[in-house]
Structure 1
Amino acid sequence: MTTTPPGSSVTAVAPGADVGTLGSGAAIRLVAGRELSTRLRSKAFVWTTVALVAGVVLGGLAIHFFGGNRAAPASQVAIVSSAGDVADPLVATGKAVGVTIEPRTVADRAAGEALLRSDAVDAVIVSTSPDLEVVVKQSLDDHGQAVLGALAQQLALRSAITDLGGDPAAVAAQVSSAAPVATALEPAKKQDAGQIVAGYITGILLFLTLMTAGQLVAQGVVEEKSSRVVELLLATVRPWQLMAGKVAGIGLVGLIQMVCVVGAGVVMSLSLGLLDGSALDVGATAVWALVWFVVGFTMFALVIAGLSALVSRQEDVGSVIAPIMGLLVIPYIVGISIAPWDPTNPLVVWLSFVPFCSALVMPMRIALGSAETWEALVALAISVALIPALVWLAGRVYSGAVLHQGGRLPLREALRPHRTD
């Protein structure tokens, strides 16, 4: 009977399974199933997933209740009944300068001033003839100056037109419709706040999940080596089958976590209307994020599993997987620092097609709406085409190094043909 050290999370073979007669697919499924069940029951997985989902939910609620995209409160202006005909021009003038005006009629000046003292209104229009007379509590702000100044000019123009025998309404309509025709030589693309936020969240989430899942693979490989359990396992399964099962099992754990977090984000954004008015295609962004997690994790995990087999102690893991982790950090930094504000930057576009880097940068470009469908498919095809070579290379290194104990095994030595291949 095979036993493992207490508290160990190493892969184990189910009791009574006759793995010696199993094919490659069955052996991989057996290892992956055990890895999956062990990781899903771990407190670390449960609490990490809960924390990520809670972070998404709380972030959505914070944006909904405290977001800065709410419309500015309307300005309340009281108008004495004798000057009531100025209400429509006042609202139109405010709209022209980007200020919402809500007029209310009062019987006389005293009633308007009473409202002004109680802060119920921001200003009181007392008279429009011969001049526009306005009462304020202390002073007009810049928006008030702009609106009332433009209104005073309109009233003066209307008076002059009337004195000349013209139709003030017709002239006002013609003036309000007049606008300059501007031609931009290099028009700037309007930034969509929803797409920018989605780009950030996509990049951060993929970075965290890929980094965490990759470290789980490395720790699992070294843990099996240091406990010598791997020697028992290799009596029944081939090294590459053990490696493939471990990668598949941990990958499924990471995918389940991603689905939970991405699903929470989609539900929150749709239920709270956080993306109303945004050009973000939340469904396509979520699907592509999951697809790129699967592809990215497969690539990173294969290389990490192979490299981790070169050492036998947990403290040595960081030194062998540092180069591959750098392929996560570099595109992540470029992605969150450049892509949201300049998604067509040549560096961003180029990295979105480079294997390993594309797993982080291309999903961000998709969220930002700067990547065409054919670009995403081409980048995906390039990465997928590289996976068979990574399977062969990682399997070769893993097979040659997994039984080695002691110091770090040189990569060249691990690549030599071995009997366990």
Structure 2
Amino acid sequence: MAEADGELAAWRVLRLVAGREVRTRVRSRAFQITTALFVVAIAASVLVTSSVGGSSPRRVAVTAADGTQAAAIVTAARSLDVDVAVRTYADAAAGRQAVLDGDVDALVLVAPPTAGGAVGTDGAAGTDGGAGTDGGAGTGGGYRVVVDSELGDSLTSVLTVAARQAALEGQISALGGDPATVGRAVATAGVAVTALRPRPERDGARLVLGLLAGGLIYVSLLIFGPVVAQSVIEEKTSRVVELLLAVLRPWQLMAGKVLGIGVVALGQLALIGAVGIGLGLATGGLDIPAGVAVGSVALALLWYLVGFAMYALMFAAAGALVSRQEDAGGVTAPMIAMILIPYVLGISVLPSSPDSGLILTLAIVPLFAPILMPMVIGIGSVAVWQVLVALALSLAWIAVLVWLAGRVYGNAVKRSGTRVALRDALRAA
């Protein structure tokens, strides 16, 4: 019973220390401003991406007399992966006015077969007012295209393909054939490709989501990791730690500090993720299923907890080694480097090689996993067993760090003055 009461008291103390850290950080003006800026930045980036990302279709006009060409133009556009919308007007005069008013980008008029008229080269689309290029023997007919100033390369290609198809159908009809039958035969012809080493298709939206998840974790660790070290140094410099350790055990103070700052950091990251995912799904800027997006964010937050626990313990131990804020950079530099390296590798390699064996291997290494694993999970290039192995190794490393960091913290936090060597801090006091 006494042992149970002791454990209950220990957790109560831990909760009090963590609560103190949470209140201190949340009330900080710097934290409030930083959080607001992060939320505004992620919201603005999502809104800008969604508004710019979806390009409007090119608008083409045809007359009622040439209305049968609308399907040919749309089919040609689809084959060239160009977004084209076709509008039908009563006559050429209405179509020309629509071009002048900016309602459409071009008016397409079917040119009759000629012995050499103003049609595009090889019977392709030519422009009117500027006239089309004289293509010599234009016996197949073609398109005359009316534009305000210029047609543009993509629309030129679409109308050229459609014009040639129309000319081909005209020739087939003149020879007594059925253009529809020939068209179906041409449409069903293709190339069957057999890949000996097929590459899985990658969704660009998932790639962006994975890189953003890793990037946010990277930034948050860089912000809140050193905060743990700075907090330890502040208490050590002001001798507050001596008063606290008079009633607390060193591991309770260290664990409570890590837990409290971790809760604040996790709350900030969750808010940013919720705003980003919510706006992305609402505006259509994130073109992936909602379940996939939410699941990726949830896993990213889980890995952030793992990563923060891992690095915060090391930052707390490092902060206990020095007594001045000026010396903090020297002891925290190795941890910052270990945060920086996986992020740089991830954003450098994954966009061009999502299945990189190097990244997948490093994503299992505990110190690299918190940043790289959310990236490859978001992309979808990692197996479940790899995630489980990485998680197990990371938790095992955290358990080791609890003992190591607790020993260093307990032996060094009471020593003021000169910097304590890590070797001396690991020895029993």
CA 1:230–1:123 in 2, change beyond 3 Å: closer, same or farther? same
CA 1:313–1:170 in 2, change beyond 3 Å: closer, same or farther? same
Greater shift, 122-131 or 48-57, is seen at 122-131
CA 1:311–1:80 in 2, change beyond 3 Å: closer, same or farther? same
CA 1:298–1:87 in 2, change beyond 3 Å: closer, same or farther? closer
Q: Distance in 1 between matches of 2:330 and 2:403?
A: 23
Equivalent residue for 1:89, pick from 72, 88, 93? 72
1:153 alignment counterpart? 164
Q: Aligned-pair distance for 1:187?
A: 4.3
1:123 alignment counterpart? 107
1:23 alignment counterpart? 9
Q: Kindly report which structure 2 residues correspond to 1:5-404, keeping only aligned pairs within 5 A, or say none.
A: 23-66=9-52, 68=53, 70-79=54-63, 81=65, 83-106=66-89, 108-121=91-104, 122-130=106-114, 131-137=141-147, 140-277=151-288, 281-404=292-415
Q: Distance in 2 between matches of 1:44 and 1:119?
A: 50
Greater shift, 126-135 or 103-112, is seen at 103-112
Q: Deviations over 1:175-195 (max 9, x none)?
A: 222222233455454442211
Q: Distance in 1 between matches of 2:350 and 2:83?
A: 35
Structure 2 residue 403 is matched with structure 1 residue 417: no
Q: Distance in 2 between matches of 1:366 and 1:189?
A: 15
CA contact (8 A) 1:80 1:125 kept: no
Greater shift, 39-48 or 104-113, is seen at 104-113
CA contact (8 A) 1:32 1:246 kept: yes
CA contact (8 A) 2:313 2:405 kept: yes
- TM-score, normalized by length of structure 1? 0.86
CA 1:267–1:391 in 2, change beyond 3 Å: closer, same or farther? same
Q: Distance in 2 between matches of 1:21 and 1:339?
A: 46
Q: Distance in 2 between matches of 1:98 and 1:143?
A: 9
Query: 2:42 is matched by which residue type in structure 1?
Result: V
Query: 1:151 is matched by which residue type in structure 2?
Result: A
For structure 2, list consecutive stretches of 5 or more residues without a partner in the other structure.
1-5, 115-140
Secondary structure in 2 matching 1:274: coil
Query: 1:346 is matched by which residue type in structure 2?
Result: G
CA contact (8 A) 2:313 2:402 kept: yes
Q: Aligned-pair distance for 1:60?
A: 1.3
Query: 1:260 is matched by which residue type in structure 2?
Result: L
CA contact (8 A) 1:299 1:390 kept: yes
Secondary structure in 2 matching 1:136: strand
Q: Distance in 1 between matches of 2:150 and 2:331?
A: 68
Query: 1:64 is matched by which residue type in structure 2?
Result: S
Secondary structure in 1 matching 2:109: strand
Q: Aligned-pair distance for 1:172?
A: 1.8
Query: 2:248 is matched by which residue type in structure 1?
Result: V
For structure 1, list consecutive stretches of 5 or more residues without a partner in the other structure.
1-19
CA 1:169–1:215 in 2, change beyond 3 Å: closer, same or farther? same
CA contact (8 A) 1:340 1:368 kept: no
Q: Aligned-pair distance for 1:277?
A: 5.0
CA contact (8 A) 2:277 2:293 kept: yes
Q: Aligned-pair distance for 1:313?
A: 0.6
Q: Aligned-pair distance for 1:218?
A: 0.4
Q: Deviations over 1:314-358 (max 9, x none)?
A: 111111121122110111111122123322212211110111210
Larger RCO (CA under 8 A, 6+ residues apart): 1
What CA RMSD, in Å, does the superposition of the two structures yield over aligned residues? 2.5
Q: Deviations over 1:104-143 (max 9, x none)?
A: 4455555544444555441331434452241434665433
Residues matched between the structures, number? 397
Secondary structure in 2 matching 1:23: helix
CA 1:163–1:21 in 2, change beyond 3 Å: closer, same or farther? closer
1:11 alignment counterpart? none
Q: Deviations over 1:245-282 (max 9, x none)?
A: 11111111111111211111122122222223579811
CA contact (8 A) 2:172 2:179 kept: yes
Q: Deviations over 1:76-129 (max 9, x none)?
A: 133362x44433333323332333444444555555444445554413314344
Q: Aligned-pair distance for 1:300?
A: 0.7
Secondary structure in 2 matching 1:403: coil
- TM-score, normalized by length of structure 2? 0.85
Greater shift, 172-181 or 54-63, is seen at 172-181
